[in-house]
Structure 1
Amino acid sequence: MTDKTNYAARPEGTQPWIPLGGGSKDGYNDGKEATATCFCGDIQLAFPVTKEGIKGTFVCHCTDCRKVSASMFATNFTVHSDDLRYIRGADKVKTYAQSKTIVEGNTMTNYFCPNCGSLLNRISSGTPTLNYVRVGAVDDLRLHDTLLKPEVEQFVDSRAKWLKPVQGVTQAHGMEYWK
């Protein structure tokens, strides 16, 4: 039997069985929108869960994504800024922006929780109407395997040599897939 204390409380009409991670206890997917929450639960975003709402999904091996994620790559999805909304914590969000290591010379602004440090999304000055949201922040883990499965793996020349290419995913040397 599953211990239901390890799953989010469900708002009326939402899908069940969203496993909890960190301090969040109220992530949801109602079939129209789903949530992404920081590790402590202070900041929560909502985004559309339609193919039309998700503009792209990708694994990125660029040196910026490696450094900002403190990992070997980042897994992201892109959503139009008008389709991303804060449920809570907008007043708490901190930003950090820089452009010195971005391949295309654009300024990337990172939006993160000042309490737990979770990076939730990024915006590039080159594509200011798009948000690059971290898949790992999405509360409904089933979306990681379905709607948010990567379409492309980019900056593959920067991929750690011990990592293998993602099977069935377009391999790109830079951002040419999105142009």
Structure 2
Amino acid sequence: MATVRPLRAVAPAAVPKPAPVVEPPRRPVGRLPTRPLPAPKKAADLPKRPLPGITLDAGWDKKLARGLVTPDATIDLHGHTLHSAHDLLDGALARSVARGDRVILLVTGKPPRPESERPHARGAIRAAIGDWLAGSRHAGSIAAVRGAHPRHGGQGALYIVLRRLRG
């Protein structure tokens, strides 16, 4: 290599310097962060019951997923406006809670297909159901909301599982 000479003298290409790596400061091990603790919540601010959707055990989820549960009541919201569907849902939930029903089949209609190109208002009731149930006067009576089995409507329906009445 010592005896080899290049044919032409070529200037080496300028190589940009890498930016210096700045490491974040490390916290000493064994010390707690020094930020202030949040103020404790008042008892009035805490929900009285768990939020809907998180209280079913695995047995209930398996039964619902396999379609082995027979709904005690059915609410069909086809052909309704948002206002009339909300009123119908509220009244039907009140009747079901009073009767002590456990599972309600709520038929909302299938959501619009993702491949549909034209703008349309399909699926407005389906999109509003979660907010309606969470803000309902019956929200404390709802244990969970799950998608329905294909024999009960599949994507176009939901199961509303109500809490057991404590007597």
Interval of TM-score (by shorter of Structure 1 and Structure 2): under 0.3
Q: Which has the larger share of helix?
A: 2
TM-score by length of 1: 0.20
Q: Which has the larger share of strand?
A: 1
